[in-house]
Amino acid sequence: MNTRTFRSCAALTVTALAAVTAGLTAQTATAASPASSASRGAAQVVEGAGELFPELNGMRIQAAGSVDVYLVLDGKRHLIPSPVTYDALFRGTEGIRRVLTVDNIADGGPLTAYAYLARTADDPTVYLVSNGLKREITPAAMDTFGFDPRKVRTTYDWVLAALPSAALPTGRTT
């Protein structure tokens, strides 16, 4: 086989594989992901919106070929809406996990633009403030999630007291 024929066959093979992969992305991602049903046990299915993956809590994930980064909270993916919001919360980008797809993880909606970490001057408890809610962040979760302690804002106690509480993220256990 000459070089020209080889290149044509290779291009045809790559095109065929791309077409097959595009049609089976969701099925392949579910079967090939490290959190597949064989390794994670039973996952809760959210009607029409993917599955809950609480064992992924704290992970920052990014689908292949996408610029969008998500934070997994309560087993759901939450879009981090901008680089400004990302930089206000996290230490760096080295903790982002690249995955084939995020479509199999239930969508929890985006974090608020300009979400932030806050505490009061007289209480060391840190909260993630987003979507009109405060979510307590334990010291273990602070590390697991990759939050940057230098980016915690000190605010008035009445500001945090006025916000309803969301669920406590416990971080991953493994």
- pTM of the full predicted structure? 0.69
Q: Which of 21, 2, 11 is nearest to 101 (CA)?
A: 21
pLDDT value at position 40?
40
Question: Which segments in the chain show pLDDT lower than 70?
Answer: 1-49, 167-174
Q: Token match 């980016």: residue?
A: 151
CB proximity list for 101: less than 8 A, separation 6 or greater: 25, 26, 29, 63, 64
| Partner residues linked to 116 by β-bridges | 129
pLDDT value at position 50?
86
pLDDT value at position 31?
35
Domain boundaries in the chain? 1-32, 116-161
pLDDT value at position 10?
36
Residue 89 to residue 81: CA distance in whole angstroms:
12
pLDDT value at position 172?
46
